[in-house]
Each structure stands twice: as C-alpha cells, then as structure tokens.
Amino acid sequence: MDYTNEPVCIKDIEKIAQRVMPGGAWGYYNSGANDEQTKTDNESAFDSYRLHPRMLRDVSKITTHTTVLGQKVRTPLGIAPCALHKLAHADGEAATSRAAAKHGSIMILSTYSTTSLEKVIAQGDGTTQYWMQLYVYQDRHVSETIVRRAEKAGFKAIVLTVDAPMLGRRLVDARNKFNPPPHLRLENFMDPNVVNGTGYAPDLAKSENETFGATFGANGDQSLSWANGISWLKSITKLPIIVKGVLTAEDTQLAIDHKCAGVIVSNHGGRQLDGALSTIDALPQVVEAANDKIEVYMDGGIRKGSDIFKALALGARAVFVARPVLWGLAYKGEQGAFIALDLLQKELELAMMLTGTTQVSEIDESYVYTPVNRWVRHSRRQP
C-alpha cells in the first residue's frame, strides 16, 4: 500500500506497519516477554545518555566507513536476524537482502528464514557481508547442515544465539494463539536441492525437518554450554564465531577464552528474559571486559541515528536493527526496508556532523554523558 506522505522517521514507518499488517503478525514482531519491561527499556534507556558536542570543527566531509571482522563496510549499521520476513511482505528475506546490498553493510540471516540462505545471499552484490544466525538443536546434525550450507554459500560468520535455551513467554502471542500462516516455509530446514530447484512450489507438504525446526522449544539443545558448544562449532566450520545474547562482563571473558571472534550485546529484543538490562546499559561492561581482544556489537531499541552514535561512543563496533527493517518491509517491500535503513543512516551522519565528528573512529565516550548510579551489582558471581 502506498501513502501520499513519505515517512520521515522510524516511528512513522512503525505506525504504517501496524496499520497494514494482520494483527497476529504485528503482535509476533512487536511483542516482548512477559510485562515487556526489558523491551520497553531497550528504547527508553537511550534517553538517559546525553551527547557532548564539539563546535567549530571542519565537518564538510563525513564518512561512516569502518571495518568489521577486518572487512570494510560502508556503515556500522547492519540488519539483525529475525524470523519469518514473509509475514511482513511476500518477497521476504530476498527483499531484505537487496535492501542490505544497496545499504552497504551486514545482514545476519535468521535460521528461521522463510527464504533459503542460498537464495538470500544470491540477492547480494558480491560486496555485502552475510552472517548466518544459528540455534543448536538436540540433534546437532540439523544445525551442522545449516552451518555447512552457509559456509558453502559464502556467508562470512556464524552468529550463535545463546540466550534462548527455551523461548521466552510472550503474552501477546499466547493471547493471539499465533501460528505462522500455513503457506510460509522454513526453507533452511528443507532439502536445498528441492527448495532451490526450478520446480520448487511453496505448497509442497512440509518436510519432517522443517516441522522439526518449527518446534524449537521442544528440540533446542538445553545442554549447550561454553564447554561443549563452541568447541563443537569450531570443529565443523572455519568461519569466525560470534556469540549473540551476551549481557555481562563474565560471559564476555568466556567468549575471549573460547577464542570467539565477537559478541553481540543483545537481549533478543526483550523477547526472552524480562527484567534483564537494556542493551545500551549492558554495553559498557561488555566493552570494558572485551578490552579490544574481541569485537563488540549491539542490537536492541535503536530507533534513531543518535542511538547509533551513542552505542558507537560507548564502544560498539557496529549495531544491528531488526524491527525497523521489518516495518519497512511491511510498508513498501524492498524499497521500504531500504528507506528504514537510509533514514537511520542519514540521522547517524547528521549526529556526527552536529557533534563535530567526521569518521567512526573519532566517536568515543568523550561525546556522551552517561547516567550516574545507573545499575550497580553488589556481588560478583563466578563464571
């Protein structure tokens, strides 16, 4: 559906998406766990940090180019993994991939994509980085198959989600009794020779593996640990491993000890443990523990370019967004997803100019006022 007035910020796109999406789909994307305290905090916590701009600096040339995992990217703003993009638009993850390629950063593809990983990366321009998000199942052969397919297809990293030994309790979904529409397929669980073939039709009967993948709560490997998980993953792939769902200094140190390439400070968009810290509040302790030995990224609650600036100033190397991209998809498909990314990108560039910074490497904690006595823990638990 087209609108006369183009959206001018992410909040505008959010409102449009809510109008055009079916209630169940909107609830699935928008819901958080339990009372949604953490989901709400993810956004509102940014307001507690204030900017410290510098004046009379030459800001006639601004660049957001940076490096992630040693690779050059146009911007530190990427796309976080989120399931079921075809709930938002019929073109799903393929449209998101094309928007990511035009945007020029990184796309993390969800295991629960409704488009096969091979089809998604084929929409890229050859320069876009694609990372594969992974859940580990009790039957690890299922996860291993996805990892090997991703590596063969050209994905550049594996993003291991560690904050979901079981799915959080999302009251909106429970009230809506939400189930994905039957025509949507979890194509990463299907035979790639079938799903990527010319004769593929989406009305095929669901495969055993696909049905298995849809029941994560019953089939996720709840025994997964630092000791048995990272070493296993390293044994089946040469790709760098990024741990997603880290909120503490202790787990950051364990990621370093296990020679992971990076951590994503994330609370699953507030959809897992309600009452956990917002990601912007958790970020400083993770960055301090990382001590430049491991790259630190962040997702959760980013709705403005100034939010990106604050995260970069507090030490994130890159940030990722999911809901804004999904709202953009619902608004206008590939074009809408790109509009969402481009709005955030332009706002980041404006924030840089108005604070007196011209490149990402200049953005540090001296440009941010942090709240005092924000959250203090009085005892230190052992890893």
Which residue numbers are catalytic? Answer: 268
The three-state DSSP-derived secondary structure of 158-213 is EEEECCCCCCCCCHHHHHHCCCCCCCCCCHHHCCHHHHCCCCCCCCCCCCHHHHHH
Whole-angstrom distance, CA of residue 321 vs CA of residue 82: 9
> Are the C-beta atoms of 314 and 283 separated by less than 8 Å?
yes
Which helix (DSSP H) or strand (DSSP E) does residue 295 occupy?
A: strand 295-299
Q: How far is CA 281 from CA 39, 47, 300, 344, in A?
A: 13, 11, 11, 21
DSSP state of 117: H
Instruction: For residue 344, give both structure tokens.
Output: 């955030």
- Reported in sequence order, the residue ranges of 75-143 that DSSP labels E, i.e. its strands, are 77-79, 106-109, 129-134
Q: How far is CA 298 from CA 6, 170, 251, 281, in A?
A: 29, 22, 15, 11
Whole-angstrom distance, CA of residue 29 vs CA of residue 261: 29
Which residue, among 68, 72, 81, 138, has the nearest Cα to 110 in the 3D structure? 81
